[in-house]
Every structure is written in structure tokens, then in C-alpha cells.
Structure 1
Amino acid sequence: MSVEEDKPQNLDIPEHLEYSEEHVWVDQSVEPAIIGVTEYAVSQLGDLVFIDMPEVGTRVEAGDEILELESSKAVEPLISPVAGVIRYVNQGAADDPSVVNNDPYGEGWIVKIELDDDEPELLDADAYAAMISK
């Protein structure tokens, strides 16, 4: 996602999650793992108006575009930071994308994915915070 010049302040970056450079979070503490977009991404995109969810059962590789997030400002791809098979999509977020704006780390999750065994290269909360503050 494109990064604007203004630097967001006081964004929530939960410690228990891992992050990609494309502003996607992954919670590997549960199975299937949960994927969503960060509060930073939401702040850059503005109010989401449409999320084009993938089909359950879709296989994705790390680096694949798995869906598009459409906001009042732009249409941005969500790039999967992990490889696996999508097991659930958040139909609630598809029906009402504002859920993602209001609660990106909770009710605003995007997909649940059964991970492959490979270890994805993800950032911890401190490294992600450092990246977005540059």
C-alpha cells in the first residue's frame, strides 16, 4: 500500500501479532491463522467501501494478491504474507467494510488461513512500528 508523507501517531500495534511490509497482520497463535490489515493501512486508505473476498478453499502463496480493498480514496490489493489455504472469510466485513475501519485487529479480520509449514518472514511489533515511523 502506498505510504503518505504524514506519519500517523498513536496507532495500535498489538505485540502478539506479526506484520508484513505491506501492512498486513498475521495471528499465528490460533489455527487457522488469522489475517487482517493494520490500523496504519486503514488510516492511509480511509473509509473502506468494498472488500472483494476470495473463495474459501483458495490456495495462496506468500506475495499473492488475495483480494482488493476499495476505499473512498483508492483500491489497494491485500498481499498475503503467508502461504496456505483460505478456510474462512469474514462475511461480516464483506457486508459492512466499516467493521475493518473500526476494529482492524478484532471483528475486522479478513481471512483465516491454514498455513503451510514454511516460516514466513514477518516483522514483530517493534520492527513494524519502526518501519511505519520512517
Structure 2
Amino acid sequence: MNTIKILLISISIFIFNANANEAVNYPKPQSPDELHSLFAQYFQGKNLEGLKTLFAKNAKYILDVEGNTAIGQDEIAKALKPYLSFDSEMLTLSKSIHINGNIALIRSDWKVANSKISGTALEVMQYQNGGWVYIIDNPNGY
């Protein structure tokens, strides 16, 4: 009887650990507009991991007028993290979208609701691995 209890406990621990380590399956945006919608959703939910999935592994995020950049998902997440301190939503309006094959050039206006934080972004997206991702994000159009 003790052997059965030990076996059941072992199986339960294995199943729990397997589920705990399972990666979250984030949706892959099927259009540049859907990428903007998911960005707003993850922003409002303060979901930094979700935001990271919207950037290519080697994406470039323009930080300032001098051209300083954050490169790669982890550096970009560090740059975005301070914005998640707002209890607000991100509003984005695509002004122009030009798609050529699997590359898109986008200009959009964005604003953090109930704040003075806003900008006009210049973005380059690429369709890769089944969804659109940022490869260059210049949120203030420097």
C-alpha cells in the first residue's frame, strides 16, 4: 500500500512540474494591425513576456534621438518595463501600412491613455514563423 502511495505522489509531482514548466502559447499576429492590438492587450495586462513575443529575436528598438538602441527581446523588454507602471491602456492608430511580401513599413500614432505620453512611431515588421513581429520599432519616429 505504501508503494502505491509513493507512486501516486511521484506521478502527481511529475505532472505538476511538467505543467508548471509548460510555455505559454502566445498568438501570432496575422496582420500589422493585429500586432498593434496584441501590444495594447499585453501593455494593459502588464504582460512583459507577451510583449517580448511581438519582437523578432534580434529586433532593434530605437531609444532616443541620438540613435541609441535596445537590441533583442530581453533588452527591449527592459526598455518597455517602465511604461508598464501606468494603470492605463495603450491606444494605437495605424496611419499607413505598406506591405511588400513578408515586410511591412508602418507609421502609427500611439498614446498612453490618461497621460501626456504619446508619439508617432515608424515601424518595420516582418512575417516570420507564422506571424508578424517588429524587426525595427522607432516609437517616437526619430
More strand by share: 2
TM-score normalized by structure 2?
0.27
TM-score normalized by structure 1?
0.28
